[in-house]
Homo-oligomer: A and B are copies of this chain.
Amino acid sequence: MTKIGLIGLGTIGSGVVKILKENKTLITARTGTTIELKRVCDLDEKRAEMLGIRGIYSQNYKDLLNDPDISTIVEVIGGYEPARTIIIEAIRAKKNVVTANKAVIAKHGEEIFKAAEDNNVSIMFEAAVGGCIPIIKAIRESFAADKINRIYGILNGTTNYILTKMEEGLSYDQALKQAQELGFAEANPSFDVDGLDSAQKLKILSSLAFNAKIKDDILTWGITKINKSDIKYAKDLGYTIKLLAIAKEIDDEIELRVHPTMIPQTHELANIKNESNAIYLVGNNIDKAMLYGKGAGSMPTATVVVGDIIDIAKSSSITNYYSEEKKLKDINTITCRYYLRPNVLDKPGVFAMIADILGKNNISISGVSQKELGKDIVPITIITHNVRESDMMQAVDQINKLDVVKSKTVVIRIEDI
């Protein structure tokens, strides 16, 4: 019998309450152990009332930490604070911790893992990345004997939904509106569409896969500048645009980036549609593996939160958090192929000006197309050969300063996974 304290009765927390209640018999039969929800905490007492658990409600989380019967605290309130404080205090009170909080693990993971080791308790966070996709367990347990050297993740459901709908013909604004109506996107969608959510998750995945302490910020580009014509040109070229989170370990250097990426339509990740998430791993021995599923949602996420609780209840959780300082590759030194769409006035000589800038920055062009679409803006699209990031950023900066340029050039990296 394991007694747990649950902090947070929102989307995920209420899912945890439901699963523990409805699947009680199944869980006990399967695992040989019983999990009892001893006490819950939320700022809003009404939430406990609606779930029929007012009798075990506390407004103060310290009541849960001070309860000697409770051996595991489940934190599902999200955000940096007070989540971090609660987790650290719970660990110091010798409680195991299960959390679904990507923000706090991405930012304070090192501190939290250290505290867990010092206090000989477990910290589990499967739900922090990829919803119900068991990627943390795959990396830490199933593939523990392998060296993972590449991660390509579709880690954000909102942006993948928007890009899928744009492929189906909607504009960015229409697709975003639809995502908001369906509850996939927030009223202020910046955290998702600017790539910040994906970047947090990538930090967690890559620190586990590469056993690395990752402190620096990583290159993070969102999808707001992509329009229907980019999607169409990508398609014509045999590519699909995805917001990819990319991590590579090459010669002890780690390369991390989140950006819209053209990937071949035939790649397994190209077929991950709508709000689904997927993580594609490349390892020395496993070659390749992909895990796919619901990246968010109350019940999918709550399922793996309870999975973590069960692991702890069966003492089959991991308590080892080995990591070392690794050098983050200077993003200016990476090379890849690029797709460029400068927004230029239709004047003679415009392309020559752009080609001149590219040439002077050591950028060689592999393909160009120019099609009539709007009234006075003629989208020129350019595909380059392999180019150094710093050269490309300098060239784009120079292009954007041309008088004939109406708005910022759209830049999409091409990844032949």
Given contacts A126-B142, A134-B138, A315-B315, contact A147 B26 (CB under 8 A): yes
8 Å CB contacts to B: which residues of A121-173? Answer: 126, 132-134, 137-138, 140-147
Interface size on A, residues (CB 8 A): 57
Please, how many angstroms separate the alpha-carbon atoms of A44 and B322 in the complex? Answer: 39
Interface assignment of A43: CB less than 8 Å from any CB of chain B: no
B293-A290 in contact (CB<8A): yes
Interface assignment of A310: CB less than 8 Å from any CB of chain B: yes
Contact of A316 among B138, B287, B316 (CB under 8 A): B316
Interface assignment of A237: CB less than 8 Å from any CB of chain B: no
B316-A145 in contact (CB<8A): no
A interface, over-half SS: mixed
Residue interface mask A307-341, B partner, CB < 8 A = 1 = 10011001111111010000000000000000000
Contacts of A126 in B (CB 8 A): 142
B268-A145 in contact (CB<8A): no
B294-A141 in contact (CB<8A): no
Please, how many angstroms separate the alpha-carbon atoms of A141 and B26 in the complex? Answer: 13
A132-B289 in contact (CB<8A): yes
Contacts of A302 in B (CB 8 A): 285
Contacts of A377 in B (CB 8 A): none
Given contacts A134-B134, A310-B145, contact A293 B286 (CB under 8 A): yes
Q: Which residue of B lies closest to A289 (CB)?
A: B293
B303-A283 in contact (CB<8A): yes
Contact of A297 among B143, B272, B287 (CB under 8 A): B287
What are 20 A-to-B residue pairs whose CB atoms are below 8 Å? Answer: A26-B147, A29-B211, A30-B211, A32-B322, A126-B142, A132-B287, A134-B137, A134-B142, A134-B289, A143-B303, A145-B307, A285-B300, A286-B293, A286-B294, A287-B300, A288-B293, A288-B294, A289-B291, A289-B292, A314-B320
**A residues in contact (CB < 8 Å) with B:** 15, 19, 23, 26-27, 29-32, 126, 132-134, 137-138, 140-147, 211, 268, 271-272, 283-294, 297, 299-300, 302-304, 306-307, 310-311, 314-320, 322
